[in-house]
């Protein structure tokens, strides 16, 4: 099955995406992730001003099927949180790369291994096998 | 026929009453205004006694239970609960005993607890048992609190990590987190075992212990269990055994001898006490002599004069529950062990494993097995039928089973198996029942290919059609709300 993997983003192997915007990055979960989870019904995100650590959980996303940790693709300080998702989680499924964004972070250096779109698409294809 | 059963409030009519209270023999005083409810709820519903009885009886008749049909809900061990146990639990000496009555007046109850502690220890290969925990997850919490107390008592405060395989029940990582320890996830290998290389890489002086279910949630016996226990012990950690799947190894393998240090027993699964709405759980725990001083109390011991008494271990982590656990469940489990006997318990596991493998072999050509191995007491298949449209999912297959009168298997668990169908037939089902289930599963696979819309629409023969689970979770209505109910009715 083909999933949307925009070329201008970088991806973690735990299915989060990262978009560079100036000095900051925006983070969300991928189209593959939302598809695998099914309809998201609850989300827990960190507070503005807290720090996230590359490879460590930064929140929880719950669907009708399962509850899963969200993993930080990189370390940094949280400068904004998409609080709209607390009351309406549908954008995580309908628009994972747009209105479904989760965090805006000022990176502090450390990062997980991030893939480009082609490498991530190949990684997903391998999982689907 | 209108099948709909509305909330009890909708049957209310002002002035109807079900009970005539006697006249008050003392002067009455109205409640102070600040104690009266100030919200929009217009009091309690007003109904006659027969209306109340009929309402709840009608709802109860919608229930699906092990007494009404086959219930292959994987990981839950929905085996038949023998009625003999109910008779034992209702004996006045047990049912009418007060938890605060004197030990001297409770010798029968104490003897039963003592013998159950001893029997569970024997069956699992452990030295000590506490019957306190109320259910499996509380048994887990007990175990990890004991691990923490043990390490602290040795002055070892660096052990802050608990290893948990990615196939584990969600309660395992939740337990570790609740005790304030860090969860480290372990990968599974291609045969469904814990990946030994990943385990070696993640063991360290920070390892407090590992939580493992064996057989695991794929229904597979952990092939390297002895090696896993050895590695964890060499690193200074302790082994926690999640007893959720103990039903598969009774009288065959003892967790204490495999190398576990602590385990919980789901008396409500393995030892047939009713559960799933039919009664409370019971998560008794067993452990090695080294951990026994930390167990929660009170436990029961026999004095030299033959009488029984409660005691609390010297370094006990304290109580886990008021009084003496879910005592009625202890009576049922004791009755089960006595009526089965040692040979009977072994037969339980042999038959549970045989039944699961029969279902596995009869279905795996159309529902691929998650890991192609002989299974234990349950089998995990994938709801991905060759030739059926991709949008036919495990959920659709499960809903269609309801139309045929079966409780669906567990779906989408374990998380590492896409479209998982986790089937646990248990030992109490006849071959005829299994054959009927197998034939139905094969028929549904045919429907998935030829008439997939039937699966998407299912269930159509149940009292309610497919529920909008997403909307129910996103916009839950958690109490009676007349406006919301009439809005929903006008939509449907």
- Write the ipTM: 0.78
What's the pLDDT tens digit per position in B395-436?
A: 999 999 999 999 999 999 998 898 999 999 999 999 999 999
Among A1, A36, A41, the residue with its CB nearest the CB of B473 is A41
Query: B412 and A66: CB-CB below 8 Å?
Result: yes
Provide the pLDDT confidence category of residue A111 given band limits of 50, 70 and 90.
confident
Q: What is the C-alpha to C-alpha distance for residues B171 and B143, in angstroms, rounded to an integer?
A: 13
Cα of A20 to nearest chain B Cα, Å: 30
A64 reaches B (C-beta below 8 A): yes
Is the residue at A27 inside a domain?
yes
Average the pLDDT over each of B39-53, B71-85, B107-121 and give the range with the smallest value.
B39-53
Q: What is the pLDDT of residue B476?
A: 85
For position B491, what pLDDT does the model report? 74
Across the interface, whether the CB atoms of B413 and A66 are under 8 A apart is answered yes
Q: Are strands A40-44 and A57-63 parallel, antiparallel or unpaired?
A: antiparallel
A111 contact B CB<8A: no
Chosen from B184, B470, B475 to mutate, greatest number of chain A CBs within 10 A: B470
| pLDDT recorded at residue B1 | 38
pLDDT tier, B3 (very low <50, low <70, confident <90, very high otherwise): low
A13: phi then psi, degrees, rounded to nearest 5: -75, -10
Nearest CA in chain B to A90: B474
DSSP B115-163: HHHHHHHHHHT-SEEE---SSHHHHHHHHHHHHHHHHHHTT-----EEE
Of B61 and B484, more confident: B61
Stretch B328-351: mean pLDDT:
98
Buried b (16+ CB within 10 A) or exposed e, B294-331: bbbbbbbeeeeeeebeeeebeebbeebbeebbbbbbbb
**Could you give the CA distance from residue A34 to residue A63 in angstroms, rounded to a whole number?**
9
Q: What is the pLDDT of residue B42?
A: 64
Quote the pLDDT of residue B469.
87
Chain B partners within 8 Å of A68 (Cβ) = 415
* Chain B CB within 8 Å of residue A1 CB: yes
Looking at residue A58, which CATH number applies to its domain? 2.40.50.100
- Phi, psi (degrees; rounded to nearest 5) at B317: -70, -5
Q: Is residue A93 part of a domain?
A: yes
User: B213, B224, B218, B289: which is closest to B255 by C-alpha?
Assistant: B213
- Spell out the domains of chain B, with CATH numbers in brackets: 8-61 (no CATH), 83-339 (3.40.640.10), 348-472 (3.90.1150.10)
Count up the domains in chain A and report the number. Answer: 1
The answer as to whether A80 is a domain residue is yes
What gap in Å lies between CA B92 and CA B329, rounded to an integer?
Answer: 15
Q: Look at residue B2 and tell me whether its pLDDT is greater than 60.
A: no
Using a pLDDT cut of 90, give the percent of chain B over it. Answer: 83
Residues 6+ apart with CB under 8 A from B412: A65, A66, B394, B395, B419, B420
Residue A34 lies in a domain: yes
- Do residues A28 and A16 touch, judged by C-beta distance below 8 A? yes
CA distance B110 to B325: 12
- From B305-314, B354-363, B465-474, the region with the lowest mean pLDDT: B465-474
The residue of chain A with its CA nearest to that of B391 is: A1
CB contact under 8 A, A89 and B474: yes
DSSP letter for each residue of chain A: ------TT-EE-TTSEEEEEETTEEEEEE-HHHHHHH-SEEEEE-PPTT-EE-TTSEEEEEEESS-EEEEE-SEEEEEEEE-THHHH--HHHHH-TTTTT--EEEEEEEEE---B-HHHHHHHHHHHH-
Residue A51 domain-assigned (yes or no): yes
Q: Tell me: the pLDDT tens digits for A60-94? A: 999 988 888 999 999 999 999 999 999 999 999 99
Cβ-in-10-Å burial (0-12, 13-18, 19+) of B221 comes to buried
Residue closest to A64 by CA, chosen among B406, B472, B71: B472
* Other Cβ atoms closer than 10 A to B276: 17
Q: Which domain does A88 fall in, by range?
A: 10-117
What are B216's strand-pairing partners? Answer: none
**Predicted local confidence at residue B279, as pLDDT:** 78
Q: What is the pLDDT of residues B254-297, one digit of tens each?
A: 999 999 999 999 999 999 999 877 779 999 999 999 999 999 99
Provide the mean pLDDT of chain B: 94
Work out the percent of chain B whose per-residue pLDDT is above 70. 98
What's the mean per-residue pLDDT of chain A?
94
How many angstroms separate the CA of residue A18 from the nearest CA in chain B?
Answer: 24
**Do residues B376 and B221 lie in contact, with contact meaning Cβ atoms separated by under 8 Å?**
yes
Indicate the range of A119-128, B39-48, B186-195 predicted with least confidence.
Answer: B39-48
For residue B40, the model assigns a pLDDT of 67
Residue B206 has pLDDT above 70, yes or no: yes
Chain A residue with minimum CA distance to B410: A65
Give me B283's structure tokens. Answer: 């998560």
What pLDDT was estimated at residue B20?
84
* Closest C-alpha to B366, from B408, B421, B404, B318: B421
pLDDT-based confidence at B492, cuts 50/70/90? low
Q: Are strands B238-242 and B207-213 parallel, antiparallel or unpaired?
A: parallel
d(CA B395, CA A63): 14
Q: What is the 3-state secondary structure (H, E, C) of B243-301?
A: HHHHHHCCCCCCHHHHCCCEEECCCCCCCCCCCCCCCCCCCCEEECCCCHHHCCCCEEE
Residue matched to tokens 């409780």: B407
Mean pLDDT for B59-88 is 94
Whether A2 is in a domain gets the answer no
Q: How far apart are the first and last CA of chain B?
A: 17
Nearest CB neighbour to A41, from listed B170, B390, B470: B470
Identify from A1, A40, A41, A57 which residue to disrupt to test chain B contact, counting B C-beta atoms within 10 A and taking the largest count: A41
**Per-residue H/E/C for A57-78:** EEEEEEECCCEEEEECCEEEEE
Q: Choose among B412, B415, B474: nearest Cβ to A41.
A: B474
Among chain B, residues having any CB pair with chain A shorter than 8 Å are 170, 390, 412-413, 415, 418, 469-470, 473-474
Inspect the interface and report whether the beta carbons of B470 and A1 lie closer than 8 Å: no
Instruction: Indicate whether A1 belongs to any domain.
Output: no
pLDDT in tens, B285-338: 999 999 999 999 999 999 999 999 999 999 999 999 999 999 999 999 999 999
For chain A, what's the residue count?
129
Question: Which residue in B341, B370, B386, B331 sits closest to B92, CA to CA?
Answer: B331
């Amino acid at each position: 099955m083909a999933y949307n993997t925009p070329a201008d983003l970088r991806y973690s192997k735990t299915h989060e995406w990262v978009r560079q915007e100036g000095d900051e990055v925006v983070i969300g979960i991928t189209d593959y992730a939302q598809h695998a989870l099914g309809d998201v019904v609850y989300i827990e995100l960190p507070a503005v001003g807290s720090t996230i650590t590359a490879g460590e959980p930064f929140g929880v996303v719950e669907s009708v099927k399962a509850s899963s940790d969200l993993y930080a693709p990189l370390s940094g300080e949280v400068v904004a949180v998409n609080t709209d998702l607390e009351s309406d989680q549908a954008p995580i499924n309908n628009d994972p790369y747009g209105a479904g964004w989760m965090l805006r972070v000022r990176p502090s250096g450390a990062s997980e291994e991030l893939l480009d779109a082609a490498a991530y698409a190949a990684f997903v294809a391998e999982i689907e096998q | 026929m209108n099948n709909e059963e509305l909330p009890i409030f909708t049957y209310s009519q002002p002035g109807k009453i079900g009970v005539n209270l006697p006249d008050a023999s003392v002067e009455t005083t109205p409640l102070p205004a600040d104690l009266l409810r100030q919200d929009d709820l217009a009091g309690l519903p007003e109904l006659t006694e027969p209306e109340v009885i009929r309402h709840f009886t009608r709802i109860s008749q919608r229930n699906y239970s092990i007494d009404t049909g086959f219930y292959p809900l994987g990981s839950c061990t929905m085996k038949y609960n023998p009625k003999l146990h109910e008779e034992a639990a209702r004996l006045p000496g047990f049912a009418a005993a007060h938890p605060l009555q004197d030990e001297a007046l409770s010798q029968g109850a104490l003897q039963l607890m003592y013998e159950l502690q001893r029997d569970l220890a024997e069956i699992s290969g452990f030295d000590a048992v506490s019957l306190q925990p109320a259910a499996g997850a509380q048994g887990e919490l007990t175990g990890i609190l004991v691990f923490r107390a043990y390490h602290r008592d040795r002055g070892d405060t660096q052990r802050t990590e608990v290893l948990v395989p990615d196939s584990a029940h969600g309660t395992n990582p939740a337990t570790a987190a609740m005790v304030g320890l860090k969860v480290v996830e372990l990968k599974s290998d291609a045969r469904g075992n814990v990946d030994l290389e990943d385990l070696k890489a993640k063991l360290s002086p920070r390892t407090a212990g590992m939580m493992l279910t064996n057989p695991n949630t794929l229904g597979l016996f952990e092939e390297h269990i002895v090696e896993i226990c050895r590695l964890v012990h060499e690193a200074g950690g302790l082994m926690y055994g999640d007893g959720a799947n103990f039903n598969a190894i009774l009288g065959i393998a003892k967790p204490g001898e495999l190398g576990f240090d602590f385990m919980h027993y789901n008396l409500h699964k393995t030892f047939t006490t009713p559960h799933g709405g039919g009664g409370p759980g019971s998560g008794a725990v067993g452990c090695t002599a080294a951990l026994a001083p930390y167990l929660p109390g009170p436990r029961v011991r026999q004095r030299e004069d033959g009488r029984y008494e409660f005691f609390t271990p010297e370094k006990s982590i304290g109580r886990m529950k008021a009084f003496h656990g879910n005592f009625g469940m202890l009576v049922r489990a004791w009755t089960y062990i006595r009526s089965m006997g040692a040979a009977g318990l072994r037969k339980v596991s042999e038959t549970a494993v045989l039944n699961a493998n029969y279902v596995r072999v009869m279905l795996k050509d159309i529902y691929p097995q998650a890991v192609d191995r002989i299974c234990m007491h349950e089998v995990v298949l994938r709801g991905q039928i060759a030739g059926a449209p991709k949008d036919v999912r495990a959920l659709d297959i499960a809903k269609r089973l309801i139309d045929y009168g079966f409780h669906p298997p567990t779906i989408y668990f374990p998380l590492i198996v896409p479209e998982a169908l986790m089937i646990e037939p248990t030992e109490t089902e006849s071959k005829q029942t299994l054959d009927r289930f197998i034939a139905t599963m094969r028929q549904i696979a045919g429907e998935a290919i030829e008439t997939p819309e039937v699966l998407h629409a299912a269930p159509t023969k149940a009292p309610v059609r497919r529920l909008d689970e997403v909307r129910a979770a996103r916009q839950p209505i958690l109490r009676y709300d007349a406006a919301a109910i009439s809005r929903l009715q006008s939509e449907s």
